[in-house]
Amino acid sequence: MRRILLFWLPLMVGAVLLRAAPNTLDIYYIDVEGGAATLIVTPAGESLLVDFGWRRADNRDAKRIYEVATRQAGLKKIDYALTTHFHMDHVGGLPALAKMIPIGKFLDHGDRVEAGGGADAENWAAYQKLATPGERVSLKPGDRIPLKGVDVVVVASDGEVIPTPINGGGPNEALCKDAKLKEADPTENARSAGFLLSFGTFQFLDLGDLTWNKENELACPQNRLGKIDLLQVTHHGMDMSGAPQHIWAIRPQVAIFNNGPLKGGTSVVYDTVKKSPGIEAIWQVHRALQADQAHNTAEPMTANLEPEAQCRGHWLKVSVESDGKYTVTNSRNGFSKTYTAR
């Protein structure tokens, strides 16, 4: 596959929640039961969908994404579909979704690196049929995704990270001096495409399932990402990610776990995030049923409380104003809280 270079420098529970107000940046965390699906809609109405949940015979995840994209965000197409990496919980729902709503460009980190068959191989074959050479773009660190009204910089892709600090980043000796590494990760996770999105003073970081040692490369010896406002906790909050030297360097104000009832949301990562300097709030797509209450956020800030079999797939929404104020809303109960980007 040839690489195509980028030169793209009042709420009622149970009611349909269409886009908040004109000129907001909206980010939806769609529940795909431990997979990933994050929908970004810019003030100009352009869209970036990051990952697509699992492949299922009943198309549950594709249907949930379609429901949010069309009924909540008011979209008629997805402009950019970004597969962070080729694991079944991230790319599996894409073929079914592509039959439901038009998709413009397909973005990824490059070809799948894992050998072997099974569901991941089947999903990769299906992806290749969808993402034809004229519609597919493989990202490199430093590339920009051309969404109007926001700046989206690729900071990690295909095992590489952005080479120099951005967003006011710099030396990180204090956190790096005692930093520990883990065994090298040869899987798709370490190849994850991740990005930093800026909208005025607001900063949002999504690194897919990037693993510990790659997080370390973004943090040591220099913090290459600066400080952010909203963090999508990497790898669903699994403890093969969540390096403290990284999380404590970027100092998130708000963190969202896109975990499942029995996947991610580990106690060790929850503690790392909770101890991060400047953290004001933690939200979760699911209550982590394997963790105690001390390692789950408050129920009003948790979209789904039940085991998967009883789950109705509630979502979280982040709506960002041009002045830096942003509101997180829980679709299950209408609870919301507003923060001001720092």
**How does pLDDT run across 312-330, given as a tens digit for each residue?**
999 999 999 999 999 999 9
User: Which residues 6+ apart lie within 8 Å of 232 measured at CB?
Assistant: 29, 38, 204, 205, 206, 207, 255, 256, 258
* C-alpha closest to that of 139 among 108, 112, 103: 108
Token pair 């040591």: residue: 220
pLDDT number for residue 141 = 99
pLDDT number for residue 31 = 98
Query: What percent of the chain lies above the pLDDT cut of 90?
Result: 92
Domain ranges of the chain: 25-340
Residue 245 predicted with pLDDT over 70: yes
Beta carbons of 157 and 141 less than 8 angstroms apart: yes
pLDDT number for residue 3 = 42
Second-level CATH architecture of 25-340: 4-Layer Sandwich (3.60)
pTM of the model: 0.93
Show the tokens assigned to 43.
């003030």
SS3 state of residue 163 = coil
Residue 342: pLDDT band with limits 50, 70, 90: very high
Tell me the average pLDDT across 176-190: 97
Amino acid at 54: W
Beta carbons of 110 and 191 less than 8 angstroms apart: yes
pLDDT number for residue 22 = 60
pLDDT number for residue 11 = 39
Residue 304 predicted with pLDDT over 80: yes
Residue 5 predicted with pLDDT over 80: no
* C-alpha closest to that of 23 among 39, 41, 10, 8: 41
CA distance 258 to 36: 7
Instruction: Return the CA Rg of the chain.
Output: 18
Residue 262: pLDDT band with limits 50, 70, 90: very high
pLDDT number for residue 116 = 84
Cβ neighbour number for residue 338 with a 10 Å cutoff: 11
For the chain, what is the mean pLDDT?
94
SS3 state of residue 105 = strand
The answer to whether the peptide bond before residue 221 is cis (omega within 30 degrees of 0) is yes
Show the tokens assigned to 242.
């969540």
> Could you report the per-residue pLDDT of 45-83, keeping only the tens digit for each?
999 999 999 999 999 999 999 999 999 999 999 999 999
Tell me the average pLDDT across 221-249: 98
DSSP string over 233-253: -GGGG-TTS--HHHHHHH--S
Cα torsion through 123, 92, 73, 283, rounded to 10: -140
Query: What percent of the chain lies above the pLDDT cut of 70?
Result: 94
Residue 14: pLDDT band with limits 50, 70, 90: very low
Show the tokens assigned to 194.
């991740």
Tell me the average pLDDT across 210-224: 98
Calculate the alpha carbon distances from 103 to 21, 87, 341 in Å: 24, 20, 31
Tell me the average pLDDT across 215-228: 98
Beta carbons of 51 and 127 less than 8 angstroms apart: no
Cβ neighbour number for residue 292 with a 10 Å cutoff: 8
CA distance 30 to 258: 8
DSSP string over 113-141: ---S-HHHHHHHHHHHHHS-TTTEEE--T
Tell me the average pLDDT across 115-136: 94
Beta carbons of 195 and 188 less than 8 angstroms apart: no
Tell me the average pLDDT across 112-138: 94
Token pair 């431990």: residue: 34
